[in-house]
Amino acid sequence: TLPQGWDGLGASYILVVASLLQLCSYAVIGSIELSMPLWVVSPDGMGYQSQRTGMACFGTCFIILQALKRMKPHLSSLSIQKNPSRSVQIGILTSCISLACIYLIPLTSKHDKSLLGLLCLSTLGAFIYLGLVLGVMAVDHIRATAISSSNDCSNLPSGLAFMQSHKSSPVLVFLGRLV
């Protein structure tokens, strides 16, 4: 719970900010999900054929499964519960650095020929995914904490009082994906 709020802010305002952050994070996730496959197969991007694209997807999924198997107990209990704002920052920073590095792969390797480029793409794709998962889980924890801490929604701006219920989360996910 938030006994005194964070930095003098009330739980209702933290709820509004966390809901807007959740909406923006799902908009970013939707745009990455749409643009990454197109970039991988486009000639200006990686220029992969279907066989190399499948190998990159398999490598990414394998890395994600291995990482989640080892990191799941630590993600849920340690970092997110103790300091959710730092978890959001780490997740966003991991995804941003990985997105910046993934742009450099076609500049340093030959299109559709380099095994090192394929491995780098798989690893960076996994880092992008894991960073986004960490960020979204931390934002959800902040939002759930603010919901449980605010007993009334009298301090919320009009029209945003529905955010206090847990049922508003699917609406934010849908709006974020729609954007």
Which residues partner with 148 through β-bridges? none
Instruction: Quote the pLDDT of residue 46.
Output: 79
Buried b (16+ CB within 10 A) or exposed e, 63-102: bbeebeeeeeeebeeebbeeebeebbebbbebbeebbeeb
Instruction: Quote the pLDDT of residue 62.
Output: 92
Instruction: Quote the pLDDT of residue 75.
Output: 61
Amino acid at 121: L
Three-state SS at 2: coil
Name residues whose C-beta falls within 8 Å of residue 54's C-beta, 6 or more positions apart in sequence. none
Three-state SS at 161: helix
Amino acid at 35: S
* Mean pLDDT score of the chain: 77
More confident residue, 95 or 175: 95
The predicted model gives 155-175 an average pLDDT of 56
Q: How confident is the model at residue 20 (pLDDT cuts 50, 70, 90)?
A: confident
Instruction: Quote the pLDDT of residue 1.
Output: 45
- Give the span between the Cα atoms of 5 and 101, in whole angstroms: 37
* pLDDT above 60 (res 165): no
* pLDDT above 60 (res 152): no
Most confident of 1-10, 44-53, 86-95: 86-95
* pLDDT above 80 (res 24): yes
* pLDDT above 50 (res 158): no
More confident residue, 175 or 26: 26
- Mean pLDDT lowest among 17-26, 67-76, 144-153, 168-177: 168-177
Three-state SS at 49: coil
